[in-house]
Amino acid sequence: MNVAIGYALSLVCIFGAYILHEGNMMVILHALPTELLAIFGGSLGAFVVTNQGKTLKAVKSALPTLFKGSRYSKERYMDLLGMLFEILVKIRKEGLMSVEKDVDDPHSSPVFSKYEKISSDHHIMDFITDYLRIMVSGNLNAMEIENLMDIEIETHHHEGHAPAAALSRLGDALPAFGIVAAVLGVVNTMGSVGQPPAVLGGMIGSALVGTFLGILLAYAFVGPLGPLLEQKLDESTKEFQCIKTVLLASMQGYAPQTAVEFGRKVLYSTERPGFAELEESIKGKK
C-alpha cells in the first residue's frame, strides 16, 4: 500500500508542478510510448544480461511482496515465541527424543499445527526443525551449532540481498537509458533540420522527454524498491536470529521461559512483545 501511495504522490506532485507552469501534457503523452519502449527495452535487456537466472526468479518472486505490508508483527512474534516455548517445555519434561516425531513431520505435530502463521512458512520451519534435529542427534555442542546457524543466516541474507541489489542496479541504469532515448530523438531532429521551427521544437521537446522519464523512473519508481527489499530482508533475518537465540539459550540450560525472553530481546522494539504480554501468553500455555 505504501508503494502505491508513494508512486501516486510522486506523479501528482511532479506533473502537477509541470501543469501549474502551463506545461503542455500533450508533448509528454505524444512521446511517451516510444520513449518508454527505448528506456524499458534497453534497461530490461541489460537487466537480463547482468543477472543470473536464479536472481531473475528471485526478483520476480520478490516484486509482489513490495506492495504488501510487513508480515512481521507483534502477533506473529507472540506466536513464534509461544511455539518455541511449548517445544522447549516438552523437551524439558519428556526429553529431546520426545520431539523427534514433531521434527520429522511438523505438519502433523500437535504443537506446530497450532501456530498456522508460523508453520506455513517453510523457511522458518526448516530452520527450526533442522536445528532441533541436530539437538536430538547430540553430535554438536552449543558453540558448533551457533557457528552453523550464523553461516546459514548469513547465506539467507546474501540470497535475499541479490534481488534488492539487482533492482538497485536497474534503477541506477535508467537515467543512462533515458539519455540514450534522448540522443536518438536529437538524431531524429537533426535529420529533419529543414522542417519549420515549430516542428523542430516539438521534436526536441519529445527527445528531452526521454531524459526526463529515465530520471523519473530511476529515482521515483525503481530505485526505491531496492532499499525497501533490504528492509524486508532485515526483518526476516531478525526472525531467524530470534529463533537462534532461543534454541541456544535452551541448549545452555536456561528454562524455557528464560530462553524465550532472550529471544524477545533480539526483536526490533517496534514489533517486540512486552515482557508482561509474553509472560501472560506463556502462562496460558503452561
User: What are the backbone angles phi and psi of residue 51, rounded to the nearest 5°?
Assistant: -115, 145
Query: Which residues does the chain have with pLDDT short of 70?
Result: 193-194, 198-200, 202, 284-286
Q: Measured between alpha carbons, how far is residue 217 from residues 18, 20, 63, 161, 174 in Å? A: 17, 22, 16, 22, 7
Contact (CB, 8 A) for 206 and 264: no
pLDDT of the residue at 208? 84
| pTM for the model | 0.85
pLDDT of the residue at 152? 94
Nearest to 84 by CA among 43, 129, 54: 129
Contact (CB, 8 A) for 262 and 254: yes
Contact (CB, 8 A) for 202 and 29: no
Q: Give every CB contact of residue 219 below 8 A, 6+ residues apart in sequence.
A: 171
pLDDT of the residue at 265? 94
Counting runs of H as helices and runs of E as strands, what totals does the chain give?
12, 0
pLDDT of the residue at 44? 92
- Cell numbers for 227, please give them: 532499499
User: What are the backbone angles phi and psi of residue 72, rounded to the nearest 5°?
Assistant: -90, 90
Q: Give every CB contact of residue 190 below 8 A, 6+ residues apart in sequence.
A: none
**H or E stretch including 49?**
helix 25-50
Contact (CB, 8 A) for 284 and 257: no
What's 160-184 look like in SS3?
A: HHHHHHHHHHHHHHHHHHHHHHHHH
Of all residues in the chain, what percent are helix, strand and coil, respectively (each to 5)? Answer: 85, 0, 15
**131 CB-contact burial (10 Å; exposed 0-12 / middle 13-18 / buried 19+):** buried
Q: Where are the alpha helices (DSSP H) in 141-224?
A: 142-190, 197-216
pLDDT of the residue at 237? 93
pLDDT of the residue at 286? 56
pLDDT of the residue at 174? 93
